[in-house]
Structure 1
Amino acid sequence: MYEQNTTPGQSAAQQDAIDVSDFVYAATGARVRRVTLPSGEHWFPAVDVAGNLGYVNTRQALLQHVAAEWQQSLGDVARSVYPIDASRNMAGHGLKKSMRMVNLQGMIQLVGACTKPDCVPFKKWVAEVVATVQHDGSYALEPASVQPAPDSGVAYAMPQQVADAIVRLEERNIRADEAFAVWEAERNELLREANRSRSAMAEALHRIGGSIDRLADRLESRQPAAAEPTVTPQELLATWRERHLVVTDDVHAVAAYLAPALVRGEARYRLEEIAGRTGLPLDRVHDCVRMLLKRGCMRQTGCASDGAPVYVLP
């Protein structure tokens, strides 16, 4: 509840016949902040009243429904309540001097123009009060069954219509609180379920990752190691000499350059590279390679991505 207490020092004669908090609650369906003057007059932030009554535009609502004498700025109201350092006192209640305020008459005018069903009981009671005054000349509240101390003034019973409105509002608020509690419990359960699902998914992903790692390790362990050459480059060259496959020094030089790669699996060299390493002319390297291919020392299986010929042992 955001209401401000009645100004201290208010005399017993100035006390409300109906507690202003209950009166406003029955009229607007909400607890509203207020500023109470030493005279006992109450002023309410128009934005609070209009907002709780469903008005979209507070300024427009004041222009259309509230008489000018029943509304004023909080700065004007506060001068008689907080004559010294008014700004600090108002700020403590979340109020600003420029805020528009309405008194009880202005609030009742806003209620009368409101179309919310919650306002109907209060408006019916106001209509009954007016009709009673027109018929009987006055309207009086019944004294309360229990009276305070003699020097505290007379206490009056709350009108039944106002009491019924408050009961209905409290029942509505209780149902709203219960519905909110159910919704919050369901939301919390959904959040817990989502957290459990995320945890389960993270655990599953962790297990899958572990399984993939183990599978990769097994595949790597099963990968056949590179076969060791069954013959050395020197033994390969010696075999070619014995079979008279290498007949000149130039052919032997080219064969000696290719032999280490051939015994490991394949040789991928451009003719220009062989020529640069052996010091032979390019055309002579071409002839030597043709001689090695022709005599069956090696064979060409294709070309690498860079265009270099690929040679392997037959």
Structure 2
Amino acid sequence: MYEQNGTPEGTAAQQQDAIDVNDFVFAATGARVRRVTLPDGEHWFPAVDVAMRLGYANTRQALLWHVAPDCAKRLSEIAQGVYAVDTSRKLAAHRLQKSMRMVNLRGLIALVNGCTKPECAPFKAWVAEVIATIQRDGSYSLDPAPVQPAAAGGTAYVMPKQVADAIVRLEERNIRADELLAAAQAERIEQMRRGNDLLGINNDLLGVRNDLLGAGNDLLGVGNDLLAESVRVQHSVADALNRIADGIDRLADRLRPASADAEKPAMTPQQLLSSWRARNLVVTDDVHAVAAYLAPALLRGAARYRVEQIADRTGLSRDRVHDCVRMLIKRGCMRQAGSGTDGTPVYVLP
């Protein structure tokens, strides 16, 4: 047994098909089908290959409907007694298994006749012509080829025109299919190239974006550092101004004439409060409480207290303390001489 176009064994080497079986099957199915040839010259084809090429959806059903039982057998049945180590290697190389269903040439033609694909029409027309010729003339014969092979033992015949036309059309179709496939592959390669180019550009843009983000983070860090340094400088300046103000106050006290201090007799906080009461400047207990808290500092030169501090020491609400301070200023007991660097009001005697 030999497979595909392998070298025949024994006497099978002298056998020759009237028409090359590969061309015959190609014209019938439109494809190159795997083939197993027995030593007696009988050809068998994988049923799944033939059914798939002819468009059958179910190989088993196609064999049951169209092929006679003696034209479809398993590979193990048709190859009994002819297996050899070399043959097994050939079958394995073409992915042929002993359990596969095979059809002979008659079974293949039966499947072609049952096929409805337009590609099978030329071959079926030739088969019909053969049958009609046999019915009319009693026989059908092929014309010998003008040029015979040099080797003796066989005769070459001219391929029927219908079969030759079918092969030509199939070859042209395959050529067009190959050209379309090549064009599609070229287009796919070009699209992949463009995609890779776009991917490269995108990666470059991502790199630039990451660089910009890094630069932005660096600038943000520098800005935070500058802000912290600015706050530190402001605090330093404020402290320096406070120290300068305190130094100026101490210098002013030293430079104040002694006669001025003599003209102003020393006064105690109680005397100051008594003078305010005598002039009816302190009219309520709340106002008196606030005045009593401010009096010692006023006599020392200036009272620097926030409303919250006075409220905590007197037990009055902040709003009430604010009203009492306004009353003392309105009645001329004291006046506001500005605010400290931290916003604390400064009150002095008028």
- Give your verdict on TM over 0.5: yes
> Greater shift after overlay, 4-13 or 70-79?
4-13
Give the whole-Å Cα distance in 1 for the aligned partners of 2:21 and 2:158.
13
SS at match of 2:73: strand
CA shift in 2, pair 1:89/1:182, >3 Å: closer
Q: 1:20 is matched with which residue? A: 21
Largest Rg, 1 or 2? 2
CA shift in 2, pair 1:143/1:212, >3 Å: same
Which whole-Å deviations, capped at 9, do the CAs of 1:242-275 have from their partners, x for residues lacking one?
9xxxxxxxxxxxxxxxxxxxxxxxxxxxxxxxxx
Give the whole-Å Cα distance in 2 for the aligned partners of 1:47 and 1:294.
103
Contact 1:47 1:58 in 2 (8 A): yes
Q: 1:76 is matched with which residue? A: 77
Contact 1:53 1:114 in 2 (8 A): yes
Contact 2:4 2:37 in 1 (8 A): no
Contact 1:90 1:96 in 2 (8 A): yes
Q: 2:68 is matched with which residue? A: 67
**TM-score normalized by structure 2?**
0.64
CA shift in 2, pair 1:213/1:84, >3 Å: closer
Contact 1:30 1:52 in 2 (8 A): yes
> Greater shift after overlay, 223-232 or 104-113?
223-232
Which whole-Å deviations, capped at 9, do the CAs of 1:46-84 have from their partners, x for residues lacking one?
001111000010000000000001111100112243256
Select 1:294's aligned residue among 309, 312, 316. 309
Give the whole-Å Cα distance in 1 for the aligned partners of 2:44 and 2:133.
27
Which whole-Å deviations, capped at 9, do the CAs of 1:101-156 have from their partners, x for residues lacking one?
11000000000000011100000000000111111111111111111125142111
SS at match of 1:174: helix
Contact 1:26 1:169 in 2 (8 A): yes
> Greater shift after overlay, 93-102 or 7-16?
7-16
> Greater shift after overlay, 78-87 or 16-25?
78-87
Give the whole-Å Cα distance in 1 for the aligned partners of 2:32 and 2:4.
7
Q: Is 1:39 aligned with 2:29?
A: no
Contact 2:7 2:13 in 1 (8 A): no
**TM-score normalized by structure 1?**
0.71
SS at match of 2:147: coil
Which whole-Å deviations, capped at 9, do the CAs of 1:136-188 have from their partners, x for residues lacking one?
11111111111112514211111111111000000000011111111111111
SS at match of 1:43: strand
Cα drift, residue 20 of structure 1: 0.4
Instruction: Please show how residues 1-314 of structure 1 align to structure 2 within 5 Å.
Output: 3-5=4-6, 7-11=8-12, 14-82=15-83, 87-149=88-150, 151-223=152-224, 224-226=226-228, 227-228=231-232, 229-230=235-236, 293-294=308-309, 314=343
Which sections of structure 1, spanning at least 5 residues, go unmatched?
243-289, 297-312
CA shift in 2, pair 1:51/1:10, >3 Å: farther
> One-letter code of the match for 1:151?
A
Aligned identity (percent) is 55
> One-letter code of the match for 2:62?
A
SS at match of 2:214: helix
Q: CA RMSD of the aligned region, Å? A: 3.0
Q: Higher helix share goes to which structure? A: 2
Give the whole-Å Cα distance in 1 for the aligned partners of 2:13 and 2:85.
25
